[in-house]
């Protein structure tokens, strides 16, 4: 399956509610699986944010189509990590601070802030100027949560 097909499948699953119908824990056989899932989502987002940042910094030539592809990946994947902060996973060694599990409403707000910014990335990727400012706003949403709830 191509990367695009995987994402289309993920988006279809989200749209039909397949990913959110059952209680979160049922999606993961073990707490370790949930940790791996959320870390994998962050790794993907970070890779594609890095590609956009390289264009913004002039380390890579600006390419609107490639930027829009990365923006779509980031926007789709940014919806995934949150269901994987399941109860019990705070006992697994990870980069999540214990405070995260005690403040679900705040974490939800910060994740929604990110989703709000990533939703604007695809349109912004059409020009280097708008990409620059939206990568900045998106990165700030990543950092706002990391400053409070990420260990490393
Ligand atoms: C609402 C909170 C929140 C937001 C928003 C957020 N992160 Fe994170 N991020 C975390 C937490 C918590 C961890 C530690 C997760 C773990 O180890 O289980 C983490 C871990 C990571 C990791 C390390 C993954 C690994 O393999 O250990 C990367 C890379 C990362 N985030 C990138 C990003 C990027 C890029 C964005 C924005 C596009 C972002 N994060 C937005 C909370 C957040």
The C-alpha atoms of residue 40 and residue 116 are separated, in whole angstroms, by 21
What is the reported pLDDT for 111? 98
What is the reported pLDDT for 21? 43
CA of 27 to the centre of ligand 1 (A): 20
What is the reported pLDDT for 11? 55
Cβ of 46 below 6 Å from ligand 1: yes
Instruction: Tell me the CATH number at 136.
Output: 1.20.120.10
Which range of residues forms the domain containing residue 144? Answer: 3-149
Cβ of 110 below 6 Å from ligand 1: yes
Cβ of 47 below 6 Å from ligand 1: no
The C-alpha atoms of residue 53 and residue 41 are separated, in whole angstroms, by 18
Cβ of 150 below 6 Å from ligand 1: yes
pLDDT tens-digit profile, the chain (152 residues): 555 655 565 555 555 555 544 455 678 999 999 999 999 999 999 999 999 999 999 999 999 999 999 999 999 999 999 999 999 999 999 999 999 999 999 999 999 999 999 999 999 999 999 999 999 999 999 999 999 999 96
How many angstroms separate the first and last alpha carbons of the chain? Answer: 33
Residue nearest to ligand 1 atom 41, measured at CA:
142
Tally of domains in the chain: 1
What is the reported pLDDT for 26? 76
Query: Collapsing DSSP states into helix, strand and coil, what is residue 27?
Result: helix
Structure tokens at 137: 């706003």
Shortest-distance atom of ligand 1 to CA 38: 18
Q: Which of 128, 151, 132 is nearest to 39 (CA)?
A: 151
Residue nearest to ligand 1 atom 16, measured at CA:
95
The C-alpha atoms of residue 87 and residue 27 are separated, in whole angstroms, by 12
Q: pTM for the full model?
A: 0.87
């Amino acid at each position: 399956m191509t990367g695009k097909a995987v994402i289309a499948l993920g988006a279809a699953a989200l749209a039909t509610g397949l990913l959110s119908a059952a209680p979160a824990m049922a999606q993961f056989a073990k707490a370790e699986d949930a940790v791996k899932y959320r870390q994998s989502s962050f790794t993907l987002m970070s890779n594609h944010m890095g590609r956009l940042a390289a264009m913004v910094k002039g380390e890579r030539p600006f390419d609107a189509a490639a930027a829009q592809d990365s923006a779509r990946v980031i926007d789709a994947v940014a919806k995934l990590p949150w269901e994987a902060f399941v109860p019990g996973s705070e006992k697994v060694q990870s980069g999540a601070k214990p405070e995260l599990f005690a403040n679900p409403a705040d974490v939800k707000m910060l994740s929604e802030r990110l989703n709000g910014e990533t939703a604007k990335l695809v349109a912004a990727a059409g020009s280097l100027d708008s990409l620059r400012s939206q990568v900045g706003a998106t990165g700030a949403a990543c950092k706002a949560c990391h400053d409070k709830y990420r260990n490393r």
